[in-house]
């Protein structure tokens, strides 16, 4: 350490401020660089013939007519990839027992889900490629399909993979304390509910997109991809296409939303990349909306039977549940499709003191599109189970649910501690959060209003959730299980000759504002105006090695690496300045682009003059002086497997008992993501997340027929939240910095999506309970509500 460290106790010029994002300038002028905006010389376009059935044997594929279409260059079948692509398997060693067979990009003998690619046409335009796809004659023998996850383990059901004894992919049980002992007591109240979570998907507005280009002269593969984890994909393409890792470059420029959808290995994208290598020319594949609904990973298809025991005075004594989830015919590569179930086992009850906990999850194969990690993986299910049971228990013992929460939430001064499932928790603030929440929403007044309105036939409800969110993961998430997924991230910062700095980071930007917060941190910590900071992310060739964007890690891990690199670059500058200025480095600082004297703040030399001296007139400096004006630092979380955040949220809804329509009147969120680097961006992360959570609770569901046909593949019949249905969302923060880093930032990207469904479910049931009915199935569509209301007791 040579110069003064950044002082977080003083207000930063940028850190903690609602600084505008530099990227908006480009995006507001139509100058974004999304994958589909890019055209390469001699580029060809891909379209896919996909399986029309959930399970079938491919008897023949006749491409005679398709080949005749003017503009069709080549047509590929599954067998064409056997010598090119090494099969991939979606398992992780730390999920003991998880099994899934090898996958290939395109089906070879058998199709296992509707939408699975079976042939790929390469043509001079997408339209021509689609023309040709429609002329391919495929003869299929339809086979019996196992589509229903709840019966997939039954003996009568077809076993999808004959090498296995059943359709079970993975199972895990957690058993802590002794729930049976609790049930034997006669002074406990037990509530039981079945929770059903609909299968839904991420629906980023920009569909999955890829352009792959291969240059045989250098054995170089370049992949432009709309995605979250360039280095992960670099490793995957290298490993499975047999190209040295350093010869694979993966570039993510502007990404039109991702939400966890764009971090997996999809057959169509893999095929496009492999064909670029085979044909030695650029191939573009842009999924259309039908393909997005059919083949983007789905999530959250869970049926959970849950149980909670509370004492008469409202203490939670036990939580128990069994979960079943169907993941499609394979576990997705490389993150696997068992993580969501694992998270549910890990997280349920996490905000509370839960002395006895027993939970089981079964992950089963089925003939449907694959399920995998989508924003807030597992959280919406885990939070809805526990807080749904909390509200049921409170109603059963006639206690206000906020009171019951306060009795059981882990005390703010009780950290570090662990969840019932054994995860380490620290630096959380559940009590502060819920206290602030009830104050912010004026809970008592709202309750009185609801009671009055109920007498007038207006059915309103208030629902709460207290939650935790996994952020800033350590290698415990994937690395320990053998996945080549980095949990550390790096940042390089260099001083330019003009006095500006260039930050290059391995975390990525999909609109969250990652680039902006990295610039804020670099500008404040190093000491320049933010206009003098350029940020590069999303390119394996020009950024340090790292994980990218997942599990809410951009600010906490990527930001910390930038903080460390900015301090290191500052030390380099002050060392050089001290020689040039004949001062001690500890007497100097950098402020507004100048080296200044500490105390007086007098300018001694501008950064551009200093840089120019080093770069152009090195003869003026001592010959043994280090010339580095570039620093790289990496950061990983070492003290904990994950850095948890917490939040308390509440929804206020009105249920129209005639139509079954639920209107969300208001939503409040109090969130603790540690140090807030940019409140404007964090608030909008929370709001966007809440809206996705409301969508899943009220509207969104991938509907399959019993035969495994997806019935809603357009935005006209898969309903997403639009502006008119959404409420004002009021956001407040508590800042409990994590002790694992200097910056103290935790993640904020997934809390809204993780918590909002539980708040909505609880609000609707708060409106239903006086009518003598409840419903714990999402989405809570008007039809489901009307069905529930058939048994209602209207006084």
**Smallest gap, in angstroms, from Cβ of residue 668 to other proteins?**
13
Residues 37-76, interacting with other proteins (CB under 8 A)? 37
Task: Indicate which single residue of 82, 703, 711, 715 sits in contact with other proteins (rule: CB under 8 A).
Answer: 715
Between CA 490 and CA 145 the distance in angstroms is 46
Residues 100-139, interacting with other proteins (CB under 8 A)? 125, 127
**Smallest gap, in angstroms, from Cβ of residue 720 to other proteins?**
6
When the beta carbons of 46 and 768 are compared against other proteins, the nearer one is 46
Task: Indicate which single residue of 161, 239, 289, 484 sits in contact with other proteins (rule: CB under 8 A).
Answer: 289
Query: What is the layout of strands, in order, in the sheet containing 533-536?
Result: 533-536, 501-505, 489-495, 630-635
Task: Indicate which single residue of 115, 117, 204, 708 sits in contact with other proteins (rule: CB under 8 A).
Answer: 204
HSE (side-chain half, CA atoms, 13 Å) at 402: 21
When the beta carbons of 202 and 334 are compared against other proteins, the nearer one is 202
Residues 207-226, interacting with other proteins (CB under 8 A)? 207
Element at 225 (helix H, strand E): strand 220-225
> Quick check: 737 and 654 in contact, CB under 8 A?
no
**Smallest gap, in angstroms, from Cβ of residue 687 to other proteins?**
3
| DSSP string for 523-572 | IIIII--GGGEEEE-SBTTTS-S---S-SS-IIIIIHHHHHHHHHHHHHH
When the beta carbons of 13 and 289 are compared against other proteins, the nearer one is 289
Task: Indicate which single residue of 103, 147, 492, 692 sits in contact with other proteins (rule: CB under 8 A).
Answer: 692
Residues 720-749, interacting with other proteins (CB under 8 A)? 720-726, 728-729
Q: Binding segment for other proteins among 361-369, 467-475, 648-656, 681-689 (CB under 8 A)?
A: 681-689
Residues 304-333, interacting with other proteins (CB under 8 A)? none
- Does 755 contact other proteins by CB under 8 A? no
Task: Indicate which single residue of 198, 202, 351, 380 sits in contact with other proteins (rule: CB under 8 A).
Answer: 202
Tokens of 86: 């090494």
The number of residues making up the chain comes to: 795
Three-state SS for 389-445 is HHHHHHHHCCCCHHHHHHHHECCCCCCCEECCCCCEECCCCHHHHHHHHHHHHCHHH
- The position carrying tokens 């109090």 is 670
When the beta carbons of 101 and 689 are compared against other proteins, the nearer one is 689
Tokens of 398: 């006639």
**Smallest gap, in angstroms, from Cβ of residue 669 to other proteins?**
11
Query: Total number of residues binding other proteins (CB under 8 A)?
Result: 56
Between CA 794 and CA 787 the distance in angstroms is 15
Residue 710 DSSP one-character state = B
Element at 662 (helix H, strand E): strand 662-672
Q: What values do phi and psi take at 630, rounded to 5?
A: -150, 135
**Smallest gap, in angstroms, from Cβ of residue 38 to other proteins?**
9
- Does 448 contact other proteins by CB under 8 A? no
**Smallest gap, in angstroms, from Cβ of residue 382 to other proteins?**
22
**Smallest gap, in angstroms, from Cβ of residue 81 to other proteins?**
28
The pattern of x and - marking residues 661 through 680 that bind other proteins according to CB under 8 A reads -------------------x
Between CA 102 and CA 104 the distance in angstroms is 7
The pattern of x and - marking residues 1 through 40 that bind other proteins according to CB under 8 A reads -------------------xx-xxxxxxxxxx-x-xx---
When the beta carbons of 164 and 290 are compared against other proteins, the nearer one is 290
Between CA 587 and CA 575 the distance in angstroms is 11
**Smallest gap, in angstroms, from Cβ of residue 673 to other proteins?**
16
When the beta carbons of 291 and 392 are compared against other proteins, the nearer one is 291
Signed CA dihedral, 228, 231, 234, 240: sign only? negative
The pattern of x and - marking residues 480 through 519 that bind other proteins according to CB under 8 A reads ------------------------------xxxx------
* Residues ≥6 apart with Cβ < 8 Å to 399: 314
C-alpha distances (whole Å) from 776 to each of 196, 290, 342, 586 are 6, 30, 21, 62
**Smallest gap, in angstroms, from Cβ of residue 415 to other proteins?**
30
**Smallest gap, in angstroms, from Cβ of residue 21 to other proteins?**
7
Helices (H), 456-528: 514-522
When the beta carbons of 23 and 654 are compared against other proteins, the nearer one is 23
When the beta carbons of 203 and 402 are compared against other proteins, the nearer one is 203
**Smallest gap, in angstroms, from Cβ of residue 750 to other proteins?**
13
Strands 220-225, 248-251: parallel, antiparallel or unpaired by DSSP?
Answer: parallel
C-alpha distances (whole Å) from 718 to each of 363, 773, 777 are 25, 28, 17
Task: Indicate which single residue of 684, 700, 701, 750 sits in contact with other proteins (rule: CB under 8 A).
Answer: 684
When the beta carbons of 145 and 255 are compared against other proteins, the nearer one is 255
- Does 702 contact other proteins by CB under 8 A? no
User: Pick from 701, 713, 719, 704: which is nearest to 294 by CA?
Assistant: 713
Q: Binding segment for other proteins among 63-71, 199-207, 382-390, 456-464 (CB under 8 A)?
A: 199-207
Radius of gyration (Cα) for the chain, nearest Å? 28
Give the relative orientation of helices 379-396 and 401-408 as an angle to the nearest 10 degrees.
110
**Smallest gap, in angstroms, from Cβ of residue 290 to other proteins?**
9
Between CA 76 and CA 138 the distance in angstroms is 13
Tokens of 535: 């940020």
**Smallest gap, in angstroms, from Cβ of residue 17 to other proteins?**
13
When the beta carbons of 641 and 693 are compared against other proteins, the nearer one is 693
Binding interface with other proteins (CB under 8 A)? 20-21, 23-32, 34, 36-37, 125, 127, 202-207, 254-257, 259, 288-289, 510-513, 680-681, 684, 687-692, 714-716, 720-726, 728-729, 752
């Amino acid at each position: 350490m040579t110069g003064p460290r950044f002082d977080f106790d003083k207000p930063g010029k940028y850190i903690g401020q609602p600084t505008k994002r530099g990227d908006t300038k480009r995006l507001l002028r139509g100058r974004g660089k999304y994958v589909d905006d890019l055209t390469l010389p001699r580029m060809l376009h891909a379209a896919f013939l996909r399986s029309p059935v959930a399970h079938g044997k491919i008897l023949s594929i006749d491409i005679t007519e398709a080949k005749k279409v003017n503009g069709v260059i080549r047509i590929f079948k599954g067998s064409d990839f056997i010598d090119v692509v090494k099969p991939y398997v979606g398992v992780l060693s730390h999920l003991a027992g998880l099994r899934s067979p090898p996958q290939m990009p395109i089906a070879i003998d058998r199709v296992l889900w509707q939408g699975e690619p079976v042939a790929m046409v390469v043509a001079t335009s997408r339209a021509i490629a689609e023309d040709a796809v429609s002329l391919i004659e495929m003869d299929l023998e339809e086979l019996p399909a196992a589509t229903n996850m709840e019966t997939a383990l039954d003996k009568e059901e077809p076993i999808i993979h004959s090498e296995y004894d059943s359709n079970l992919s993975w199972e895990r049980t957690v058993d802590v304390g002794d729930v049976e002992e609790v049930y034997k007591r006669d002074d406990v109240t037990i509530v039981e509910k079945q929770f059903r979570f609909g299968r839904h998907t991420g629906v980023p507005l920009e569909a999955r997109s890829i352009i792959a280009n291969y240059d045989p002269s250098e054995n170089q593969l370049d992949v432009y991809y709309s995605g979250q984890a360039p280095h992960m994909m670099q490793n995957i393409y290298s490993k499975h296409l047999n190209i040295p890792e350093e010869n694979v470059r993966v570039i993510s420029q502007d990404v039109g939303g991702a939400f966890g959808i764009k971090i997996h290995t999809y057959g169509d994208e893999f095929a496009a990349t492999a064909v670029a290598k085979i044909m030695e020319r650029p191939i573009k594949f842009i999924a259309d909306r039908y393909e997005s609904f059919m083949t983007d990973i789905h999530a959250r298809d869970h049926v959970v039977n849950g149980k909670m025991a509370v004492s008469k005075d409202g203490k939670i004594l036990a939580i128990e549940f069994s979960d079943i989830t169907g993941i499609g015919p394979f576990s997705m590569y490389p993150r696997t499709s068992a993580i969501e179930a694992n998270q549910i086992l890990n997280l349920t009850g996490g905000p509370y003191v839960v002395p006895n906990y027993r939970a089981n999850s079964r992950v089963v194969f089925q003939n449907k599109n694959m399920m995998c990690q989508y924003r807030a993986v597992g959280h919406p299910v885990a939070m809805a189970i526990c807080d749904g049971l909390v509200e049921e228990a409170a109603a059963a013992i006639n206690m206000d649910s906020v009171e019951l929460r306060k009795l059981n939430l882990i005390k703010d001064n009780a950290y570090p501690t662990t969840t019932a499932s054994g995860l380490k928790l620290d630096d959380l603030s559940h009590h502060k959060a819920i206290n602030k929440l009830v104050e912010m929403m004026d809970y008592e007044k709202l309750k009185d209003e609801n009671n009055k309105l109920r007498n007038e036939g207006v059915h309103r409800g208030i629902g709460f959730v207290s939650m935790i969110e996994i952020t800033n993961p350590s290698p415990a998430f994937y690395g320990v299980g053998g996945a080549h997924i980095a949990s550390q991230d790096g940042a390089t910062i260099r001083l330019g000759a003009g006095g500006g700095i260039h930050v290059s980071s391995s975390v990525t930007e999909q609109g969250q504002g990652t680039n902006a917060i990295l610039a804020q941190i670099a500008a404040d910590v190093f000491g320049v105006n933010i206009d003098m900071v350029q940020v590069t992310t999303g390119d394996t060739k020009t950024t340090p090695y790292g994980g990218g964007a997942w599990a809410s890690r951009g600010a906490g891990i990527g930001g910390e690496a930038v903080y460390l690199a900015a301090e290191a670059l500052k030390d380099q500058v002050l060392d050089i300045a001290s020689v040039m200025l004949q001062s001690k480095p500890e007497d100097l600082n950098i402020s507004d682009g100048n080296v200044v004297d500490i105390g007086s703040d007098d300018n001694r030399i501008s950064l551009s003059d200093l840089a120019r001296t080093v770069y152009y007139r090195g003869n003026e400096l001592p010959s043994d002086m280090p010339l580095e004006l570039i620093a790289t630092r990496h950061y990983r979380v070492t003290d904990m497997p994950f850095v948890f955040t917490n939040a308390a949220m509440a929804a206020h809804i009105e249920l129209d008992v005639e139509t079954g329509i639920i209107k969300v009147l208001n939503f409040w969120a109090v969130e603790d993501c540690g140090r807030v680097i940019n409140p404007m961006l964090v608030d909008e992360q929370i709001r966007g997340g809440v809206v996705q959570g409301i969508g899943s609770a009220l509207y969104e569901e991938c509907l399959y027929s019993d035969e495994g046909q997806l019935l809603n593949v357009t935005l006209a019949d898969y309903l997403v939240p639009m502006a008119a249905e959404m409420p004002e969302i009021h956001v407040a923060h508590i800042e409990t910095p994590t002790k694992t880093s200097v910056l103290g930032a935790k993640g904020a990207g997934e809390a809204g999506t993780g918590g909002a469904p539980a708040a909505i479910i609880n609000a609707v049931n708060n409106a239903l309970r006086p009518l003598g009915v409840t419903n714990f199935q999402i989405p809570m569509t008007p039809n489901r509500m009307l069905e529930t209301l058939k048994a209602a007791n209207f006084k």
